[in-house]
Amino acid sequence: MSDPGTSPSDDVGGVSGPESIRDARTVRSLGTLALVAGLTLIVISLLGAREIPLPLLGGVLILAVVGVGLRIEAAIRLRGR
């Protein structure tokens, strides 16, 4: 059935070497972009009005969580390199 020398978690993504590093850098860049987009939305909103609408604040919070999550994923991918 399966090779006893390998475990099911070996080569999970099927990408190794320079391709995985490039993928991790892309993921890290997307995470940074999400964080910057959230900050930009807050600054633009504060320039137009003195308070931040609740739906916008929720959207920025989602962008921040996604951005941090993507950067953590990239760090995990690059950890063993």
Binning pLDDT at 50, 70 and 90, where does residue 16 land?
Answer: low
Give the Cα separation of 19 and 13 in Å (integer): 11
pLDDT in tens, 26-79: 999 999 999 999 999 988 988 888 888 899 889 999 999 999 999 999 999 888
Predicted TM-score (pTM) of the model is 0.69
Tell me, yes or no, whether 29 lies in a domain: yes
Q: 25 lies in a domain?
A: yes
The answer to the question of residue 31 being in a domain is yes
Q: Is residue 73 part of a domain?
A: yes
Number of domains in the chain: 1
Residue 5 placed within a domain: no
pLDDT at position 32 is: 93
Q: Write down the residue that tokens 């070996």 correspond to.
A: 10
Assess if residue 59 is contained within a domain.
yes
Classify residue 44: in a domain, yes or no. yes
The domain in which residue 22 lies consists of 18-79
Residue 6 maps to a domain: no
Q: Is 38 buried (19+), middle (13-18) or exposed (0-12) by CB count in 10 A? A: buried
